[in-house]
Amino acid sequence: MEFRYLGASGMKISEITYGNWLTHGSQVENDTATRCVRAALDAGITTFDTADVYANTKAETVLGEALKGERRQSLEIFTKVYWPTGPGGHNDVGLSRKHILESIDGSLQRLQTDYVDLYQAHRYDTETPLEETMQAFADVVRQGKALYIGVSEWTAEQLRAGHALAKELGVQLISSQPQYSMLWRVIEDEVVPASRELGVSQIVWSPVAQGVLTGKYKPGQEPPAGSRATDEKGGANMIKRFMNDTVLERVQRLQPVADELGLSMAQLAVAWVLQNDNVAAALIGASRPEQVEENVKAAGVTIPPELLSRIDEALGDVVERDPGKTAETAPQKRPV
């Protein structure tokens, strides 16, 4: 396993980070989820990312149980706040001071830890003054309940404003967690340059584009039974933007590149996001321990410039690059 500094901080994280979105507590039985976490630890992964909203808090509970007994100082545990949790009442959502201070306590209890290494704003809250949000995050840090703060799917402008307030308040905003893959490159033109300037790293989710970049979805064919594209609990909705024959045909053109590097298609996809020097980690999920063991082989891989060019040529105009997509896909108001 390779390790990278997170933003301008002195904390290192494993460049393959284990995330339990979509699986733990909802799609995968707890014993299997625990075996996946053990496989991650065995592979050298030290960084684990979750959120209170995943499986409506159950994912945090599963992760806390799976990590019980590990030396806490040897781990980096991240969680997030914003989306509705619990019964979804009028204050069970957003980035108000009330919701943040209540949510961190719930997350720590479920994760069975006194602190998280990184506490992240899971989205931007248009209904709470940014000053209130950042003051609450600063207080969480001062109380010793989080060491650093981060954000997820914020625009470059929002990131700059949040970072400036954090600096005024004497806390370190060091990370951004956006979607990023060979097919979804919307952060490259605005978010990444702003992040480099501010000392913020990316922790990217969906580097395999919800499984599309594994090559298992073939143009003109029905999705494999049991795959994310057939999952009605949320997976199918997330993946549908990529499920057209033009995209799937272009993805098949990546196989020779993967073969030349001695990688699987999934490993190629994870290794690709790690070529960006502003990316501190690629988030991987798993429903089976074997998936963890395979994906960690992307750590430490260098893709030569000529092969990066061949990837760009193979995918062509199916790649989404519009920086406006970050704002377009963000909630315009709280979901409840």
What pLDDT was estimated at residue 10? 98
Residue 33 corresponds to which tokens in the numbers above?
């989820």
Identify the residue with better confidence: 23 or 186.
Answer: 186
CA end-to-end span of the chain:
41
Does the pLDDT value for residue 230 go beyond 70? no
User: What is the C-alpha separation between 3 and 11, in angstroms, rounded?
Assistant: 10
Percent of the chain with pLDDT over 90: 79
Q: DSSP readout, 73-134?
A: GG-EEEEEE-S--TT--TTSSSS-HHHHHHHHHHHHHHHT-S-EEEEEESS--TTS-HHHHH
Phi, psi (deg, nearest 5) at residue 237: -70, -40
Paired with 320 in beta bridges are 184
Tell the residue number behind the tokens 């100082």, with chain if given: 73
pLDDT at 226: 61
pLDDT in tens, 287-331: 889 989 999 999 999 999 999 999 999 999 999 999 999 999 999
Query: Residue 232: its pLDDT value, please?
Result: 62
Residue 115: active-site member: no
Structure confidence by residue, pLDDT tens digits, 44-60: 999 999 999 988 888 99
CATH 3.30.420.40 fits 3-328, yes or no: no
The pLDDT value recorded for residue 299 is 94
CB-CB contact of 113 with 78 (8 Å): no
Q: What is the pLDDT of residue 236?
A: 58
Report how far residue 284's alpha carbon sits from residue 274's, in angstroms, rounded to the nearest whole number.
Answer: 12
Digit-coded pLDDT (tens) for 263-288: 999 999 999 999 999 999 999 988 88
Q: pTM to 2 decimals?
A: 0.93
**Of the listed 54, 82, 148, 217, which one is catalytic?**
54
- Four-point Cα dihedral 138, 144, 148, 151, nearest 10: -60
pLDDT band at 20 (very low <50, low <70, confident <90, very high): confident
* Other beta carbons within 10 Å of 98: 14
